[in-house]
Each structure stands twice: as C-alpha cells, then as structure tokens.
Structure 1
Amino acid sequence: MLSVRALAARERREFADLLDDLSPQQWQSATLCSGWNVRDVVAHTIAYLGQTRLGLTASMLAARGRVDRLNDRALRPYAGPDELRALMRSGADPSGAGALYGCRVELIECLIHQQDIRRPLGLPRTISADAVRTSLTFARVSPVIGGARRIRGLRFIATDLDWSAGRGLEVHGPGEALLLAMTGRVDAVTTELYGAGLAELCRR
C-alpha cells in the first residue's frame, strides 16, 4: 500500500491530468458544489497550497469559524485555466494546510473535488481502494468535514472494499458513494445506496 502522502500526491496529479483535457465550456460548467462552477472548485482546491497552520488559523478566525465564509474568501481571482492547471500540477506534493493530518487533508480534498467535477461532466474514473478507504476513515473523524454528524445512528458498509463504520440502521453502497454522502453530497449518490438507513440519511 502507498503511503498517505503518495496517495495524496497521485490524486492531485490525476486532478491536474483531468484539467488538461477540459474545454473552455467545461470550465464554466456546474459542479456538485452548489453555486460553484468548475473554475471555482479548482481555485478552492489550490487555495490553501503552502498555507501554514498559523496562517490557516488566522484565516479561520477572520471568517469567525465559518468554513463556507473561509472558502468564499479563498477564491482568488486567478488569471484563468492555464494558471490553475499549472498550480494544480506544481502543488502535487502535500504542503501547508494540505499536509495536515498526515496529508489526509490533501488526499480527501483532491479526491472529493475531482468527483464534484467529474460526475456532472460524465467523466467517471476508477479510484484506488486505498485512497477511498483512507478518505472514508478520515471523513468520519474530521471536525471540518462533519462525517460523524451525518452518519450518527447509522452504519455505513462499503460493498466494494473492506470498510464499515458506525452503529445503527445500515446504509450499503460503493465506497465512493458512501464518501460523497458522508461529505454532504447524498443527493448525487442516492441511487447507488440502499439499506434501512437510507431514508434517514436522505432526510438529514
């Protein structure tokens, strides 16, 4: 198994490969992130490259602890796709905020946001089981992602890899779909999930 750092670096390089093939129209397309187009999601994903823990703390304080406000402020007016592509590729090795929690921040950031773009554009891919498993485990305990809150009283069981977590009514599905549900994108994966706990998950 690759280290988390290696998984994160690979994920960002694959993200950069995706961007290389997008048309100008696709850069303006909607994503799974409400109100954000592809350009916005990419800008967000590279916004914290090189930012120190102290700098991130200061930004969080300035945003009064609101992650949505912090993210909106981080959408710098980049020159355009060419600059974003270059930054995505040059920032492959986890650094700054992306290196927090043993590089798990960069891994899940790049994995989730790549799917935010790929799914609406109809550009599926095969994600490594190690990357999905590591991201699922981190999403469940990360206070920023809030996975624990979303699956409280439910048991998530992956059908395509050896992973399960939680107690209560069961929700089954592919690891990627469980991860997207855990990170607040349940509407995009409802048809991929099943189990006695699905109705409660959707209600939340």
Structure 2
Amino acid sequence: MTETEVRRAITNERTDLAELLSGLDAASWDAPTLCKGWRVREVVAHMTMPYRLSGPRFAFEMVRAMGSFHRMSDRTARQDAAELTAEDLLKSLWDNVAHPWKPPGGGFSGALSHDVIHGLDITVALGLGRKVPEDRLRLVLAGINPKSVKFFGVDLKGIELRAEDLDWSYGSGEVVSGDAQDLLLVLCGRTLPAEKLRGDQAKRFTRGRRPGR
C-alpha cells in the first residue's frame, strides 16, 4: 500500500471501532479484554493516549516510570480510564480518526497494527465476532517478524500457525490453526478462548474448555 492508502486504512479502522464502541452499554466498558488487567476503558484510554499526551507530560510520566514505557503506558491507561468517562474516551477516538500519530520506529503501518490489535483485544474478549477487513489484516500480518514476536515473549518453538481463512502461516512444526486475526493475537502474546484455535497444541495459547468437553 502507498502511505495515503495506509492512512486511509487507519482512519477506516478507527472509525469502525468508534462505531462499534458507540453501541456498548456501561457494563461492557467495564468488561475485561485480552489485555491482562485492562478493561475496555483502559484499552481505549491506551489507544487514545497519543492524542492527549503532550510532550512534557510524556517525559514526566517516563521519568515516573523509571524509563519503562510498559510501566508508563499501563499507569497512564489506568489513570485516564479512572478520570475520563466512556463518553470522553469515545469522543477522543472520534475526534482523532485521522490523527497522524505513528509509534516510534513503526511508521503508519505500525499505527494500523496498534489499532487493529487493540481493537481485537476488545471485540474478541466481548465475543462480538467482528472481522478485520482483509486488506488491513494482510498489512498487519506482513509486519510480523521474529523481533516483534520476541518482544511479546511468545514461545512458538515447534509450532506453525496456519490461517484457515487466508493463505498465510508463520513458523514451522505442529500446526495450530484458526482465523488469521486470531493467530495474529497469538503472535502478540494474547490468550484466546479455546474455541478460537484448533490443533493438539492449541491449548498452549487458549484458556477454558471447548463446548461439549
């Protein structure tokens, strides 16, 4: 994709998510997501953090977190989720669907990945059944590499992730299959509902029991 096409994909992805969030009730905003320890409101607070966080505040929060971006982003997401209402968080997303934010070193493709993955953290956890459009999903999958998998601490030794809905796979070994967007979440260290994956080793990446078992 060209830069213009990627930016259009980002705008469309954020718009789709904002429309979906607009239909959630209060209980859903407080429901857990695939991001450990974060409810829907913390995930949305994290996604919209770059639009609200000024340079000086970012520097201050990094100092407070002793230089750990993970610690800083977790603390900021929890703080903003506590201080802002669901309506505030949703407005922040709507107001910035075309915002030019890019993660350091990630470019616009990294921004799209950020939005897609965290959107799935919400929709999969809530069982909403949303499918990420194929063109956006393929772009995110194309950015997966050993360095990014290592960042998330995923152990894929002896495992091949093989998509059932796209011509895509990652790794080699015993096959664990599922929809490509669910396998993307595996690569990002998420633990999925058991029914999302198939294969004898699927239990390494899932929780709970399959229906009827």
Describe the superposition over 1:148-182 as per-residue Cα deviations: whole angstroms up to 9, x where unpaired. Answer: 85435432221211222223333222101101111
CA pair 7-84 structure 1, distance change in 2 beyond 3 A: same
> Which one is further off, 82-91 or 116-125?
116-125
2:31 to 29, 32, 49: 29
Partner of 1:102: 107
The equivalences for 1:39-118 within 5 A come to: 39-49=41-51, 63-64=65-66, 66-75=68-77, 76=80, 77-98=82-103, 101-118=106-123
Partner of 1:5: 7
1:167 to 141, 164, 172: 172
CA pair 79-147 structure 1, distance change in 2 beyond 3 A: closer
Using the alignment, how far apart are the partners of 1:73 and 1:180 within structure 2?
23
SS at match of 1:49: helix
Describe the superposition over 1:70-106 as per-residue Cα deviations: whole angstroms up to 9, x where unpaired. Answer: 2222222543112111110111124234485231232
The equivalences for 1:134-173 within 5 A come to: 134-141=139-146, 143=148, 146=151, 149-173=154-178
Identity of aligned residues (%): 30
CA pair 149-32 structure 1, distance change in 2 beyond 3 A: closer
> Which one is further off, 151-160 or 60-69?
60-69
Deviation at 1:122, TM superposition (A): 2.7
Long gaps (5+) in structure 1: none
Q: Which amino acid aligns with 1:107?
A: L
Taking structure 2 as the reference length, what is the TM-score of the superposition? 0.76
SS at match of 2:50: coil
* Contact residue 4 and residue 102 of structure 1 kept, 8 A: no
Structure with more relative contact order (C-alpha pairs < 8 Å, separation 6 or more): 1
Q: Which amino acid aligns with 2:92?
A: L
RMSD between superposed Cα atoms in Å:
3.3
* Contact residue 139 and residue 183 of structure 1 kept, 8 A: no
Long gaps (5+) in structure 2: 207-213
SS at match of 1:171: strand
Deviation at 1:201, TM superposition (A): 5.4
1:131 to 116, 136, 140: 136
Taking structure 1 as the reference length, what is the TM-score of the superposition? 0.79
- Give the total of aligned pairs: 202
